[in-house]
Chains A and B, each alone.
Chain A
Amino acid sequence: EPEVTQTPSHQVTQMGQEVILRCVPISNHLYFYWYRQILGQKVEFLVSFYNNEISEKSEIFDDQFSVERPDGSNFTLKIRSTKLEDSAMYFCASSANRSQPQHFGDGTRLSIL
């Protein structure tokens, strides 16, 4: 069964450094999402992306965050200058259309030191 794949599975970064989290959505999916989950807390929406542009972003998704779909297969989340509070599990999801379920990758655990 097709899967959403995320790399790396774990990223450790010094505070203030840039980090790029990578996702390969399911190949025929058109809608892409990033969510994050701070340890022990609920999953929070960050951003949604369709037709090469952001559809919606949450208040968490400030100027330090950006997303890109550089080559038609990858979907990346960049954090420009990481903060301690960015430490979380980041999940990428994709769906075939807006009413279909979102399928999630296994997540990237981001640890900011």
Chain B
Amino acid sequence: AQKVTQAQTEISVVEKEDVTLDCVYETRDTTYYLFWYKQPPSGELVFLIRRNSFDEQNEISGRYSWNFQKSTSSFNFTITASQVVDSAVYFCALSAAINAGNNRKLIWGLGTSLAVNP
């Protein structure tokens, strides 16, 4: 079965704190992709990052960093020096192979609602 678990339902931090959002996934595929999307209060889904299963290098983009560990099936997301504008729901998603070749549907976690307070 393919599954994404985001155990943290809600996190509240004070501005400038660092915060880590956890994501654990399950899949039998050997090739897969992991994603993080941000959903601000306005409701749209904003793509943040994609990581493929063969690339375990951590990635940093500004205040955002991601830690992919296949050994623990985790793909955690850290925001450094959080800001009020980071307040949103963050979804981790797994791209699973649908069939022989085409399309990869996204399987989503329940999301973590992050509130950054001034």
Q: A interface vs B, CB < 8 Å?
A: 31, 33, 35, 41-45, 48-51, 55-56, 58, 89, 91, 93, 98-107, 109
For the residues of A in contact with B, the DSSP-based class is: strand
Q: Please count the residue pairs between chain A and chain B whose beta carbons lie under 8 angstroms apart in the complex.
A: 69
Known: A31-B103, A35-B106, A55-B98. A42 touches B111 (CB 8 A): yes
The answer to whether A107 and B35 touch across the interface, beta carbons within 8 angstroms, is no
Interface centre among B37, B52, B106, B110 (most CB of A within 10 A): B106
Known: A42-B91, A55-B98. A103 touches B47 (CB 8 A): yes
Q: Are A48 and B110 in contact (CB-based, < 8 A)?
A: no
**Chain B, range 35-69, C-beta contacts under 8 Å to A:** 35, 37, 42-47, 50, 52
Determine the residue in chain A with the shortest Cβ distance to B105. A45
Query: What distance in Å separates the Cβ of A31 from its nearest Cβ neighbour in chain B?
Result: 5
B101 in contact (CB, < 8 A): yes
Beta-carbon contact of A107 and B106 below 8 Å: no
Contact yes or no, B44 A106, CB < 8 A: yes
Interface size on B, residues (CB 8 A): 26
Contact indicator B105/A107 (Cβ below 8 Å)? no
Besides A43-B91, A44-B108, A45-B107, 15 more A-B contacts (Cβ < 8 Å) are A42-B108, A42-B110, A45-B106, A45-B108, A48-B98, A48-B105, A89-B43, A93-B106, A98-B101, A99-B33, A99-B104, A100-B50, A101-B35, A104-B44, A104-B45
